[in-house]
Amino acid sequence: MKYQVQENCLTIYLPREVDHHNAEEIRKEADAVIDRNHIRYVIFDFEKTDFMDSSGIGVIMGRYKTISLIGGEVWAVHTNDRIRKILTLSGVTKIMQIYEEEVV
Amino acid sequence: MKHTNEMEIRFESRSENEGFARVAVASFMTQLNPTVEEVADVKTAVSEAVTNAIIHGYEDEIHKVSIRCRISENVFTVEVSDKGRGIENVQEAMQPMFTTKPEQDRSGMGFAFMEAFMDSVEVESEPGKGTCVKMTKTVGKGRELWTTRSL
């Protein structure tokens, strides 16, 4: 899993495809990093992602459950139309902010 | 004459085959000249059904998952089946947010996604025998041929 920690903020650079196969690894590594670094904000970066199914939704919901206990937040950045459709359809947008880039 | 075509694949229930299954079905589907959106819809639905077979049907044991695709005119049918443990209560399993594996961070959205992205989803299951998920999608529904429109 590619990630970056800045103070209490963890950015997870998601792979091209987020399915059950690679969700496992993201889940385990993210939890370890969150634990070790007192993370309060988790940012899911979808820059490279063009496929996600409900396993990805599970990853987001699971991280939200952990960090919401300490008043944290989850964010999504660089989402394309397809990813936004999946996020909206799942209802996960109720607990997660989608950062809208400015259209230049 | 009616245009028909069919294909079948069988693979082991390993999670690395989820990607293979999606791509195989998507590439068979291209002969229907689908939109990018339609391909993405089918890929998501197939991914959900195959994931279900692997983690719920076989509970991470290695057995075979089969996929059968059929094209009849512009209707695409895909069946994903396993010979795993089966589903006790199909209606309950299909409810959004219902999951038997919350500890594995399963969202319970699998069937909801299949229903959202396909035109129809039918589930046949028998406890101890296995499960077959049959989904259909009409491809190119909303598309008008530009040649039939006056300029």
Domain that holds residue A85: 2-98
Q: What is the mean pLDDT of chain B?
A: 93
Say if A104 falls within a structural domain: no
A41-85 pLDDT tens trace = 999 999 999 999 999 999 999 999 999 999 999 999 999 999 999
Task: Tell me which of A19-33, A89-103, B57-71, B123-137 is least confident.
Answer: A89-103
Nearest CA-CA distance, residue A21 and chain B, Å: 5
Asked if CATH classification 3.30.565.10 holds for the domain at B4-148, the reply, yes or no, is yes
CATH number of domain containing A44? 3.30.750.24
Nearest CA-CA distance, residue A84 and chain B, Å: 13
Say if A41 falls within a structural domain: yes
CB within 8 Å: B107 and A19: no
Relative orientation angle of helices B36-52 and B110-117, to the nearest 10 degrees: 150
Q: Classify burial at A13, counting beta carbons within 10 Å of its beta carbon; exposed 0-12, middle 13-18, buried 19 or more.
A: middle
CB within 8 Å: B113 and A89: yes
List residues in chain A touching B: CB distance below 8 A: 17, 19-21, 23-24, 27, 51, 53-55, 57-59, 61-62, 82, 86, 89-90
Say if A23 falls within a structural domain: yes
| Number of domains forming the structure of chain A | 1
Question: Distance of CA A103 to CAs A26, A40, A80, B46, B55, Å?
Answer: 30, 29, 13, 33, 41
Say if A85 falls within a structural domain: yes
Q: Which of A69-73, B76-80, B102-106 has the highest mean pLDDT?
A: B76-80
Mean pLDDT of B71-91: 96
